[in-house]
Amino acid sequence: MKQYFADLFGAVTSIAQGMWITLSHLFRKNETQQYLSDEKPEERWRSVIVPEGLLQDRSRMRLHVKIEDCIGCKQCEKACPVDCIDITNEKREKTEAPIFAADGTAIKQRVIQFDIDMSLCCYCSLCVYPCPTECIVMTPEYEFAETVKSDFLYRFAKEKPSPPEPPKEEKPEPVAAGGS
Amino acid sequence: MGLKRPELEAKITNYLSPIVIVGALGFLGAIATVPQVAALIREQLQANLSATMAAVVAIGLGVGATVFLVTQLPIFLIWLERKVAGHMQDRLGPMRVGWHGVLQSFADGIKLLFKEDIIVKGADRFLFKLAPFLVVMGAFAAFAVLPWGQNLVVSDLNIGLLYVVAITSFGSTGILMAGWASNNKYALYGGMRSAAQLVSYEIPTALVILAVVVQVGSLNLQEVVAAQQGGFGDFTNWFIFRMYGLNAVAFVLFFICGLAETNRNPFDIPEAESELVAGFHTEYSGMRFAMFFLAEYGAMFFVSALTAVLFLGGWVGPFHSGPLSLFVKALLLVFVQMWLRWTLPRLRVDQLMALCWKYLIPISFVVLLAAALVNTASS
């Protein structure tokens, strides 16, 4: 019998608590956002870079890689839960001129392939956090629909530079045998 | 016309939404002036027509006004529900069609009108077609006895409350019929659940109504309202404030039972979408589906209005008496229904039955007994 009234009391208080929570949410600012084409109708049909502050802070859109800063550590590839990042490296020769990322890290690998399949990407942003040079980022670009699936494969690596031509041996001019 | 489609849409929504908003405000104003207009019309009728004809025309006008109200109200309520649902979940709700989506329900209605009307193979065609009408009838016929003001009631029945209890059960017959005629297991489950639910929840509903009837001494809804008149600001005499808090308990009980009778959350097991696809209206499409929708929102408004009549003074309002008072009270209770819908999870079938038989029925018996005792002692 005691349990019966305890149950009743619990039901009433918990319902009141729940109703208070939903009522507080009723007057809260909405988390979702209208599709931006409403606010910028002239930019409706093309991919746009959205001005700062128009999107919410936590919005996650298309990935971008600043390939000049990439040191080829593959941490983003390991972090990706859907394996949509594909990286191939090539060791840089010691003899080559040292190059550095924007934050000063020495780049010891040449990234010859950096592919992101945006059709697989789940926009979890997990690849962004481990990047030591902050070269992989979420951009505010939100409209990038394609008609062909292969167009979702974004290749960020530069064209593999052709191997440096072997230094030309300065062949001594063959001395003309038959002198003048 | 060289208008492109988006331009045309923009034109339509830009012109229509102010009309709809102004119309809604005008509707509220019109409701407030209904008593004066009705008195004028009645005077004119009695002066120009014979007594029988005057009565017939008056009833016809009343029926017309009520039918207009109950068919137009769901359009507004559906929009309200979607906005409330959206904002409670930190979303925006409909925003596209018109100002903050006020025209969304009209657009949906037009879409439903144009949709193909499918009757599934193997369905019981006659019952399948009959069921939506029964459901709508059950929800809308109850409005006949709802008192909107002094002399403002379509049918001033002496057995108004009995009529209400009887006619609202019609909806459940229709739901069971729809479930059976669809020849679909989910629809049948939905119909059966609805029947089980209604049979259970009729008991506490009737008992709580009886507790009010004991205090009034009449089944007439106008007399229920009349018994609540007077007091400070016309609201201290409402039943909810009387009987040392006993009636407040009765009010909560009646509201819970009302939720169950209209199949609203958390009692919406007949159409539990995560279990039964869409429940009893799984196989319905187009206008027949829209009728179920219309009936649900009509019933929702009616239950709220009836709660207001029984416990919150009906049209006898705080500082203002008339149809507007009842309308606003009912809308507030409808909002509470929506609020509860987006707060509470759905009950399981056994929990639903336990709530009714273990909690609501004993408590309503106690309330009825106590109401009778207190009433006898005080008179």
Beta-carbon separation of A18 and B344 below 8 A: yes
What average pLDDT does this structure show over B125-139?
Answer: 87
Q: Give me the interface pTM, i.e. the ipTM.
A: 0.74
Beta-carbon separation of A23 and B339 below 8 A: yes
Note whether B226 contacts A: Cβ–Cβ < 8 A. no
Note whether B110 contacts A: Cβ–Cβ < 8 A. no
**pLDDT tier at A55 (50, 70, 90 boundaries)?**
low
Nearest to A22 among B95, B343, B359 (CB): B343
Q: For residue range B316-353, list pLDDT tens digits in order.
A: 878 777 788 888 888 899 999 889 888 888 888 888 88
**pLDDT tier at A35 (50, 70, 90 boundaries)?**
low
Residues from chain B that touch A30, judged by Cβ atoms under 8 A, are: 86-87, 90-92
**pLDDT tier at A57 (50, 70, 90 boundaries)?**
low
Q: What is the 3-state secondary structure (H, E, C) of chain B?
A: CCCCHHHHHHHHHHHHHHHHHHHHHHHHHHHHHHHHHHHHHHHHHHHHCCHHHHHHHHHHHHHHHHHHHHHHHHHHHHHHHHHHHHHHCCCCCCCCCCHHHCCHHHHHHHHHHHCCCCCCCCCCHHHHHHHHHHHHHHHHHHHHHCCCECCECCCCCCCHHHHHHHHHHHHHHHHHHHHHHCCCHHHHHHHHHHHHHHHHHHHHHHHHHHHHHHHHCCCCHHHHHHCCCCCHHHCCCCHHHCHHHHHHHHHHHHHHHHHHHCCCCCCCHHHCHHHHCCHHHCCCCHHHHHHHHHHHHHHHHHHHHHHHHHHCCCCECCCCECHHHHHHHHHHHHHHHHHHHCCCCCCCHHHHHHHHHHHHHHHHHHHHHHHHHHHHHHC
**pLDDT tier at A170 (50, 70, 90 boundaries)?**
low
Q: For residue range B169-193, list pLDDT tens digits in order.
A: 888 888 888 888 888 888 888 888 8
pLDDT at B5: 64
Cis peptide before B270 (omega within 30 of 0): no
Range among A36-40, A101-105, B206-210 rated most confident? B206-210
% of residues, chain B, pLDDT over 70: 97
pLDDT at A180: 45
pLDDT at A106: 78
Residues from chain A that touch B88, judged by Cβ atoms under 8 A, are: 22, 25-26
What average pLDDT does this structure show over A151-156?
Answer: 83
3-state secondary structure of A20: helix
Q: How many residues does chain B have?
A: 379
Interface test with B, best of A22, A37, A38 (most B CBs within 10 A): A22
**B341 or B230, which is more confident:** B341
Compute the Cα dihedral for A146, A147, A153, A154 and give only its sign: negative
- Tell me which residue has tokens 């009270």: B329
Nearest to B339 among A22, A27, A32 (CB): A22
pLDDT at B4: 63
